[in-house]
Amino acid sequence: MTPEQIRTVQSTWREIAPMSADAARLFYGKLFELDPRLRSLFRADIEQQGPRFMAAIDTAVDALAEVEAVVPSILELGRRHAHYGVQERDYQAVEAALLWTLEKGLGCSFTPDVKDAWTLAYAILDNMMKSAMAPGAQQNQRRMGP
Distance (Å, rounded) from C-alpha 76 to C-alpha 2?
A: 26
Range of the domain at 88: 3-144
pTM: 0.84
The CATH code of the domain that includes 94 is 1.10.490.10
Q: What is the pLDDT along the chain (146 residues), one digit of tens a residue?
A: 999 999 999 999 999 999 999 999 999 999 999 999 998 887 767 788 888 889 989 988 998 888 888 888 888 887 877 777 788 788 899 999 999 999 999 999 999 999 999 999 999 888 888 887 775 544 444 433 34
Q: What's the domain count of the chain?
A: 1
